[in-house]
Amino acid sequence: MATASGTTADYSEKIPNNVGLHEDRRLQRALESWQPNFLSWWQEMGPALPARDVYLRTAVSVGREGWAHFGHVAMRDYRWGIFLAERDPDRRIGFGQYLGEPAWQQVPGEYRSQLRRLVVIQGDTEPASVEQQRNLGATAPSLYDLRNLFQVNVEEGRHLWAMVYLLHAYFGRDGREEAEDLLRRNSGSADAPRILGAFNEETPDWLSFFMFTYFTDRDGKYQLGTLKESAFDPLSRTCEFMLKEEAHHMMVGTTGIDRVVERTAQLMAENDTDDGAEVAARGAIPLEVIQKYLNFHYSVSLDLFGGETSTNVANYYSAGLKGRWLEGRRKDDHKLADDGMLVDALVDGQIGQAEVPALTGLNTDLRREYTADCQSGVNRWNKILAEAGLPQRLALPHVAFNRKVGAFAGIEASPDGQLLSAAEWAARSPQWLPTDVDKTHVRSLMQPVHERGKIAAWIAPPRAGINGKPFDYEYVHLA
Ligand code: BYC
Ligand code: FE
Ligand code: FE
């Protein structure tokens, strides 16, 4: 495995990479001096549960076939590496004012600070999620789930490496300072919080973890999808490869919620009850509590798309820095200078829609793609309820519900989109968002099951294991 910049990673180096790091000693030294800081951050802020080894996937190549290697590794020996998807030497810019020109291999001076900002915001979310999930190992419902948690954690750590590589390689001294700051800010910290709202929330229990990987990692999928279109080719190639890893995070969230719903539905059907208290008494999570968690994580994740209208996003698009989801499949001029679109808005104090220039509405465009994707999960979960013979259904709340960013930040709305007074919201929101009582109950269910082949009572086992292994495989050896 000794190719410099092909598809295969060079594992003989301190920092495995497919970017020919050894050809650039200065960059290599800079990254090697950041590495110990990363490792002490991982020790301090990464997974708290000591494990001897974990059955993990490690990226070894970026090719279509067999890019990953599976095996038991001690987490502190995990090889975080730098991998960019293969370069297409003919790649051209697909949108904006430079449409059709060759993609950039360097950062143009005039876009330096905007690009750096995008890379920093992306980079900030990755370690944030590791910090948020730090204590979950202690309450894992099975070794299979514990392994998936650790897999997500090491890959988010690698995503941090991906952004730090770009900062060091392309943004000079400011880039190196930003890389330090990515380890200095911490999720939920009073003096140096993470940049985006959702990444300062807690992930105190496994229902939150599955909701987070379903809804918040999915924002990651969509944001990475837009950065993959970027004219700045190294960013595009980095994001393309990150999206491969992201697919597993989506799977963890989707099937995790499947399994929670399945267990609850099973208890409801068996006992012919729709009484949440009875479901709770039998050790599962009531459907209405699942709905409240869904409402919370979905609405907080909608905020991650920024305002419904934004001049930032218009500038990013025109400059070629950040495209649209599946830009290449859009049937328009990919410049949008003369187009308009309807965005969600407050119109005369009412929840409605307003026509704006298409460029300033691009956050809404992306948010809508995201919402349609989120709905597919809800449909799956509703199918599980239907197959159990139950009439209840889950639903995504309205776009105006519980928003703290954008057009609806200043108002309150019900999950079905009715405008509410502050007093009505105060009285009714406990029906829609997790209360302290709900959270305490969910946490009380989180008793660890660290025994091979066993699973907690509040969740159904998965339909399949990892990499063809059975559910009762020894995915983790605890210390
Ligand atoms: N919280 O013009 P606006 C992931 C700021 S997740 C706090 O409407 P814009 C992952 C905004 O920065 C993907 N502040 O926003 C998932 C702006 O500040 P400035 C992460 C917020 O720029 C799970 C001001 O408000 N990647 O990978 O159009 C696990 C005005 O806002 C928030 C990215 O986000 C907020 N929620 O859009 C692990 C991609 N929203 O500039 C990983 C990079 C907005 O006035 N980021 N603000 O100081 C972007 O593309 C954009 O910056 C945003 C915001 C989409 C975040
Ligand atoms: Fe990530
Ligand atoms: Fe992720």
Give residues whose Cβ lies within 5 Å of ion ligand 2. Answer: 126, 156, 159
| Closest ligand to the CA of 158 | 2
Q: Which two tokens stand for residue 55?
A: 């059955």
Domain boundaries of the chain, sorted by first residue:
21-478
Q: What tens digit of pLDDT does each residue of 211-240 get?
A: 999 999 999 999 999 999 999 999 999 999
Give the closest residue to 41 by CA, choosing from 156, 119, 137.
156
Ligand 1 atom having least distance to the Cα of 406:
8
Which pLDDT belongs to residue 92? 98
Q: What per-residue string of b and e applies to 312-323 under the rule 16 or more CB within 10 Å gives b?
A: bbbbbbbbbbbb
Which pLDDT belongs to residue 1? 37
Confidence bin at 10 (pLDDT 50/70/90):
confident
Going from the Cα of 130 to the center of ligand 3, the distance in angstroms, rounded, reads 10
Nearest CA to ligand 1 atom 45: 312
pTM: 0.97
CB atoms within 10 A of CB 186: 18
Residue with tokens 């070894």: 60
CA 82/CA 16 separation, integer angstroms = 6
Going from the Cα of 5 to the center of ligand 1, the distance in angstroms, rounded, reads 32
Distances (CA, A) of 179 to 40, 191, 211, 245, 276: 14, 18, 29, 22, 47
Confidence bin at 5 (pLDDT 50/70/90):
very low
Of all residues in the chain, what percent carry a pLDDT higher than 70? 98
Q: Which two tokens stand for residue 251?
A: 């799977």
CA 437/CA 28 separation, integer angstroms = 51
Going from the Cα of 332 to the center of ligand 2, the distance in angstroms, rounded, reads 30
Going from the Cα of 285 to the center of ligand 1, the distance in angstroms, rounded, reads 32
- Output the CA torsion sign for 411, 414, 417, 420: negative
Q: What tens digit of pLDDT does each residue of 81-138 get?
A: 999 999 999 999 999 999 999 999 999 999 999 999 999 999 999 999 999 999 999 9
Q: Which residues surround ligand 1 with Cβ inside 6 Å?
A: 118, 121-122, 125-126, 129, 156, 196-197, 216-217, 219-220, 223, 303-307, 310, 312-313, 322, 363, 405
- Confidence check: pLDDT of 4 > 60: no
Q: Which residues contact 393 (CB under 8 A, 6 or more apart)?
A: 382, 385
Q: What tens digit of pLDDT does each residue of 12-26 get?
A: 788 999 999 999 999
- In a mutational test of the pocket of ligand 1, which residue from 312, 321, 325, 369 has the highest number of ligand atoms less than 8 Å from its CB? 312
| CATH number listed for the domain at residues 21-478 | 1.10.620.20
